[in-house]
Amino acid sequence: MRDLAVQPVSLISQWFIKPGSENEAISALEALAVAVQVGEPDTLTYLVHVPFNADARLQSLPPAIPFSVLFFESYRSPDAFLQHLNGQAFTDFVTQNGALFLNANGKPFTTVQFLGRQAGFVRPESTGAQVVTTPGNRHPSVMFEVIAKDQAKAQAFYGAVFGWTYQAGSSDFAYVQFPTAVTSLLGGIGQAQPDTPGFEPGRNFYLLVDKVEDAIARATAAGGSVYMPPTSADGYRFAMIEDPEGNPIGLIEPFNGNAPSPTRAEEETP
């Protein structure tokens, strides 16, 4: 018999925004989803929905409740759900934003139904997106830093190449916030080849781009340089650039999240 303590569990929950608080509530919900994604590796799915009104051919039955919010969530285990429920991200959200929702007994009024998956699938919405439906490797990379000698110049370079905008943190640290999404994550450990660019001992990080050649063109125009030309392996394409201070930055195109072979292919001709 399957151990119920480690059996994945899902739920649907409905909340109700106070009229006039829609924009503030949606912004708070978006921030909550980011906090959950970054800080809760055992929360496997966290999707926040509002009624869909973009196509008149699609009518909800019964009619959707105005200002309602529907959560769909899945967790690695019941304990993982309880850790979320009592965790900092969710409790801070309720404390700071609970008044934006209809309340009962001083707390947001909600409905909840717990679910156990029996069959079905989740298809990616677009190339490179993969929704996690079963427990897998834990502790993915969720943050990177570029520590620059000239911060202002570095911000300008990355803004020109990747279109980034920044949010100031403590000590003027420039945070790069990304939209909430559930996408394929890939990591690996390889054998060093000290004489081959990109394979020196150390660590690399890769940024997702639509096409590596286009990103390389933007980088060189902004004062960077090519470090590793476009290369293909195991179903994905990648390259590396250097920023104006010589920091190597990986570029990778959307991929399917699988890496069946431990070897990289020979370099392509751009």
Q: What is the pTM of this model?
A: 0.50
With b for 16 or more beta-carbon neighbours within 10 A and e for fewer, the 133-149 pattern comes to eeeeeeeeeeeeebebe
* pLDDT for the residue 110: 95
Per-residue pLDDT of 30-73, as tens digits, reads 989 888 888 888 898 999 999 998 899 999 999 999 999 999 99
Domains of the chain (ranges; CATH) run: 4-115 (3.30.70.100), 151-252 (3.10.180.10)
Per-residue pLDDT of 118-173, as tens digits, reads 887 776 555 444 444 445 566 667 678 888 888 889 989 998 898 888 888 877 88
